[in-house]
Amino acid sequence: MQTDAADRIILGGRYRLESKVGTGGMSVVYRATDLQEERTVAVKMLREEYAEDEEFLQHFRNEINAAKDLHHPNIVEIYDFSQEDDLPYIVMEYVSGITLKAYINVIQSMGWRDALNICAQILSAIDCAHSHGIVHRDIKPQNILITDEGRVKLTDFGIARAVTEGTRKAGGDSAGSVHYLSPEQARGGFTDERSDIYSIGITLYEMVTGVVPFDGESHVSIALKHIDGNIVPPHTVDPDIPYGVSDLVMMATKKDPAERFQTARDMYARLKMVSANPGYSFLTPENNLDDGAADIQNLEATEFSAPLIIRREDINEYENGDGNSSNSAPGRRAADYTDRELEINRAEIVRNVTMTTFAYVLAIILGIVGIIFMVNRFRNLNSNMGKFTSVSYKVADYHAMKAQDVINELTAKGINVAQEPALSEDYPLGYVVGQSVAAGETITLKDVLTLKVSSLSNSFILEDMVDKDYRQALADLTSAGLSVNFHTVSSASHKKDMVVRTSPAAGSIVTPGDTVTIYYSTGQMAEKVRVPNLIGMTAQEAEMQLTLAGLTLRRAYPEPGSDITDLVATPTPTPEPTADPLLIPTPTEEPTLEPTEEPTQELPPDSSAEAINTVTPEITQTPSITTAPTVPPTATPSPTPVLASMTVVAQYPQAGTEIYVGESVEIYFFTVRMLQTDKELTLDYPSDVTSAEEVDVRIESIPLVGSGSFSDIIYSGSLKRTEFPFKYHLNIPVSGMPVKVTIYINRSIYKQILVTYDYVEKR
């Protein structure tokens, strides 16, 4: 019953098709009348290729049934779902207006306030969907409608997910979708609510700039840019776009889902703050001219209720392809002026030029004096304000906590932290056993909180080596009983041969025998290059490619083609040979055979019982055996060795990563996931963030090396308080390469840790 023109067909005896209003890669949309309810509706009829896929239809029905429960002013309502002549169709709310894509094409790029208005309504709709467990997965301007009254309506819930799980064929609107895909969708990995956040960020980018951030000649090239490409910040494309609006886009389009806004509600809250103070940059505070002028957390929220103003004449001009003549203003031509009007009074011109020049010079002098006056006033004001204002923090009880975790937390808040070694028989090394400020007291940013950390008796504080000649630093550290490594870095702020930093940093607790790495300057301006793709190259080819890029090869592990059987965590066992003991005599007892019997043939060590029965000649007389027959000892066959690849199969850092010239890259000649071992980790009850009896827990892991690494979901579900401490298992490479574990509590990041084969965990 698929038709290109509606000819008064009535579907299901109820919906009379009036006219076709749109076509897409999956469906044809008709304007129709609901004869039973006496209202205008939209009927979306799926194309035949989707109607023939039963698996797709089942997923599609499930999604439509869930979407029917969505009732929100910014979501197109779904009224019914049925079939006519085996062709499924959806009946939904009819919206009179245009798509957001067409609206962007009308005005090229809209004002940022209108863009935030539209984005706020999209987020409100998506928040409703997510609260019902529905992820859209296909947010794009083509699926966002703007009514004649200016209200935003989000449509096509459920279709995107059903298509990904059905048998999708490339359609006419698939090209539009790839411009808004999240990196995890482009890789075919796990998607959740944060994938919708990414698509909304791309849509907001297009609204404020008029273009999409990534484009290309094919779907594949665009998808790869979503995975590895860098988005140019909107304020760089158009300097009139405020920093806050640009930051909103950049935060929503982070490659790592854990770094984006975690919910639509989070992004909506930040959007309202940005609207109240658009010039404040919350991602790069250094761009703010007045650090104290905008406390972004305390700004009054701005509500978005005013509809957009869409001029129908603009839309008509866009649809008719005419819109230039109306903008031309009447004016006079040069020939319209008389000779008298063109007479030149030279004396008057000289007088005007002189007065103008004098005015400019006077303005410049007054401007310089004003700037000097304002700078002095600002310095005095800043000095005086420091006496009356300060930021204070309430100190918690850090006893029995890992010192490094406490330091990371406090330094992130701007608090100065110092360490002091202390002997302790009650705590292991590296734990806080005392603090200079008691729990509950307050400190300011000028104060220093000293932590007493459990250490060995001969431990001491590492002194600051920055801007000291690296040779002198070597002598000082060696005399203190420390081992020293060196690493050169390019630096424009440190002279040649001067120490840039140390690892561990100055102020850390060290013990004689520990290793300290000195990073000293080569005196060159720091320059970054992208790591080349070394996958598939030999070791020699990879080293040459790195040299051409200005990089060095740190190590190649293991040796190409070497035997790595011992490195494999769970090698495949080789089956031992089997034999029938009744057919093989024991080595100590010789059976008595008939003289005509031929001797038993010698069998290879890997022969099976079936092979033995085949080669043994028939015995005419049962041999006389005085003892129980046993299987003769045979040599255990060696397992097939596992050999490393002859070409690179993984690298760290990954291809495309920006690092400084002179830094090194590691290459690996084995499959990372094959060389893994199991590690048991424990998650304690997160009492520092919740007191609920049941919490939602999600644990993800991702290796930080290799090409095409995807996140693994270790656990996802609810845990009762009594189920803590919760033990979970993690697969980690035996090579010592780190695996990042992200733990979410109630959908917010609780903590992230790096886990390596030597069982060292670092925040």
- Active site (catalytic) residues: 138
Q: Give the pair of three-digit tokens for residue 695.
A: 């919490």
Long-range contacts, stretch 357-360, CB < 8 angstroms, 24+ apart: none
Helices (H), 480-567: 539-548
Round to whole Å and give the CA distance between 14 and 36.
Answer: 6
Alpha carbons within 13 angstroms on the beta-carbon side of residue 94 total 20
Q: Which helix or strand (DSSP H or E) is residue 133 part of?
A: none
Sheet strand arrangement including 87-93: 10-11, 15-23, 27-34, 39-46, 87-93, 78-84
Helices (H), 239-326: 243-252, 264-276, 312-320
Residues 708/658, Cβ–Cβ less than 8 Å: no
Question: C-alpha angle 39/43/49, rounded to 5°?
Answer: 170
Round to whole Å and give the CA distance between 120 and 264.
Answer: 9
Sheet strand arrangement including 748-755: 712-720, 694-703, 739-745, 748-755, 761-762
For residue 721, what are the contacts with CB-CB under 8 A and spacing of at least 6? 685, 692, 693, 694, 695
Residue at 341: amino acid letter:
E
Distance of CA 758 to the CA centre of its chain: 27
- Torsion over CA: 602, 605, 609, 611 (sign): negative
For residue 433, what are the contacts with CB-CB under 8 A and spacing of at least 6? 399, 400, 422, 424, 426, 427, 452, 453, 454
For residue 763, what are the contacts with CB-CB under 8 A and spacing of at least 6? 402, 404, 405, 408, 751, 752, 753
Round to whole Å and give the CA distance between 92 and 81.
Answer: 9
Residue 227 buriedness (CB in 10 A; 0-12 / 13-18 / 19+): middle
* Tally: H helices and E strands in the chain: 18, 31
**How many Å is the Cα radius of gyration of the chain?**
36
Round to whole Å and give the CA distance between 70 and 154.
Answer: 11
Strand partners, 516: 484
Round to whole Å and give the CA distance between 192 and 134.
Answer: 9
Round to whole Å and give the CA distance between 222 and 667.
Answer: 28
Round to whole Å and give the CA distance between 555 and 537.
Answer: 15
717: region left, alpha or beta (phi > 0 left; psi from -120 to 50 alpha): left
Round to whole Å and give the CA distance between 398 and 406.
Answer: 7
Residues 167/688, Cβ–Cβ less than 8 Å: no
Listed residue (420, 452, 454, 456) closest to 434, CA to CA? 452
